[in-house]
Amino acid sequence: MQRLILGNKNKIALAGGVLIAAAFLNRWTLGSTAIFEWALIVASVLGILPIAIQAYQALRLRLVTIDLLVTIAVLGAFAIRNFEESAVVTFLFLFGAYLEQRTLQKTRSAIKELVEMAPETALKQMEDGEFVEVDVDDVEVGDILLVKTGAKLPVDGTVVSGEGSVNEASITGESLPVAKEQGSTVYAGTILDNGTLQIAADRVGEDTTFGKIIELVEEAQDSKSEAERFIDRFARYYTPAVLAMGILVWLFTRDVELAITILVLGCPGALVIGVPVSNVAGIGNGARHGVLFKGSEVMGDFSRVDTMVFDKTGTLTAGSPSVAEKEYYGENIEEALGYLASIERESDHPLAKAVLEEIGEVELLPVENTEVVKGQGVVATVNGRRVAVGNVALMEAEGVRLSDKAQADAARFAEKGNSLVLTSVDGELKILMGVRDQIRPGVQGVLGRLKKLGVKNLIMLSGDNQGTVDAVSRELSLTEAHGNMLPEDKAEYIKSLLDQGRIVAFVGDGVNDSPSLALAQIGIAMGGGTDVAVETSDVVLINSDFNRLPHALGLAKATVRNMKQNILIAVGVVLVLLASVLLSDWMNMSIGMLVHEGSILAVILNGMRLLRFRLRT
């Protein structure tokens, strides 16, 4: 029966609210005293059941909680036929618990999502040389595996033959596929975009990089599950004190009504509702402004953040490469752009799409005698002209002279973290393009506002090369920037910051970010990122709107301030009421009830101010 009642607490709260509303509606319309009282009596009885059960269970563990004080106060109010108070107090208490439950619960489906992303089978080379599909658990270190286009790599390993382009976003978070050849290292859970590879298994099962991601998420989430509520800590002292006061008053005065009055007025109704209403108002404001907070604990930790760590790709940058800069040389540029588009249309190189998007609609011509120069680019014949598209090394191999201006432009582009795409026609340089994953619009302004809000350290971690990372860091004036980092490296770095006593928030969007998101005091995910990142995080920027981050931090600080104000109002009013009951003649039940209900209204109105919160720019 206890389990049934506790399992339906939310339904009981709803029923109580409906009965209270019906009671007052009756009073204002029909005016029937019987209906009014019986509706409140039923609401009180229903409401006190789960609260009394929780108080009883706590007493069995030798804990005196607010549940016990609320139970005694409600019974006392019921005994002196103050059914309004008993019904309202139980409803507020249960409704506050409901709000806490809704806002504080953390999903643990991220682990399931990660496991589902891991490959289940592999093509293993048998003794006769044939490749047979086997369960991934049957793969051992040293086995030779075949991976075809579009397949997930089942283990961490080394390429023994073949070439291909691998999408490593699930591990490094980087959007650009990485070329793999003999001797290259590959990771489980990454995807072979094109080509065919044979790999030797180096790490299998839980020892793979992907397996470590799952393990790190589990450990980090467990490490955050021991947080205590302020109200629970406060109740350890407050509840026994009020209870003892009521008993002492009864012992010394033998005035039962006075003792019950003290318990009723001492009932922390405003305290019970004050903290949840602040948090829920703050969470509601965030939702309307594109920020999802996953609970009241998040507000407290987030408000104290002094170090913010960012993933690069998809967070500070857009997550897809595009042409950032370009220079043209000589004449007939439109013709050269047509040649370039004709060649790139037939290429599966990751930069080709960015180049084609930049060129737009042009006349495409037949491409002949295509020659792929490994690690340099492509040479082909278009409209009878010899066209070379690639890097500086290809231009040198083709005997293309780069003017002083072209060399300076190339150096400038490279310094900013661009991948260079040069195009020559019949040995003459025509086009230079710099392709990179560009910084999100407004990021610099966002970082400046974060500093004004008290974030002292702005740090970037990325799986990209250090040169590209340094270029982004210089442009954004970051405190630190570290490249070539795998998920475990990022998580280890977060641990080192925590060991230094910093309050750390991590902002990311990929599966590879999930360990760091879970490990940091506050994990902030871009809403357009992977489900795992979103579910592992504490704060989600809906629609990946990075510009909402300062609002989120400012709102967290405002919510914590508001919560403290409500606690001060609630406790202050209770103390004044208790002192007035004991030390004055003018305080009675009616006046006390009026002030008591007024304090509840005050904390609700104070909390609702957060619904209008906007960060001052």
Measure CA 391 to chain center: 39
Active-site residue (options: 301, 311, 464, 538): 311
CA–CA distance, 168 with 176 (Å, rounded to integer): 8
Alpha helices in 293-332 (DSSP H): 296-303
> Is 311 among the catalytic positions?
yes
CA–CA distance, 615 with 181 (Å, rounded to integer): 51
Helix 466-476 to helix 443-452 angle (10° resolution) is 60
Half-sphere exposure of residue 477, counting CA atoms within 13 Å on the CB side?
A: 9
Strand order in the sheet with 307-311: 291-293, 539-541, 522-526, 504-508, 307-311, 457-461, 480-482
Residue 463 gets which letter from DSSP?
S
Q: Choose among 111, 108, 455, 99: nearest CA to 295.
A: 99
* Bridge partners of residue 372, in order along the sequence: 378
Q: Choose among 439, 441, 440, 455: nearest CA to 550.
A: 455
Using the Cα atoms of residue 489, residue 490, residue 491 and residue 494 in order, give the sign of their dihedral: positive
- One-letter amino acid for residue 158 of the chain: T
Query: Are 321 and 517 contacting, i.e. CB atoms less than 8 angstroms apart?
Result: no
Q: Would you state the structure tokens that stand for residue 404, as one six-digit string? A: 């002083």
CA–CA distance, 57 with 44 (Å, rounded to integer): 20
Question: If residue 246 lies in a helix (H) or strand (E), which one and from where to where?
Answer: helix 230-253
CA–CA distance, 282 with 293 (Å, rounded to integer): 9
Helix 549-583 to helix 230-253 angle (10° resolution) is 10
Show Cβ contacts of residue 205 under 8 Å, excluding neighbours closer than 6 positions. Answer: 136, 137, 211
Measure CA 488 to chain center: 18
Using the Cα atoms of residue 211, residue 214, residue 216 and residue 219 in order, give the sign of their dihedral: negative
Residue 302's CB is within 10 A of a number of other CB atoms, namely: 23
Q: Choose among 577, 15, 568, 58: nearest CA to 267.
A: 577
Q: Would you state the structure tokens that stand for residue 477, as one six-digit string? A: 């004036």
- 313 sits in the region (left: phi over 0; alpha: psi -120 to 50; else beta) called beta
CA–CA distance, 141 with 451 (Å, rounded to integer): 49
Q: Catalytic site residues? A: 311
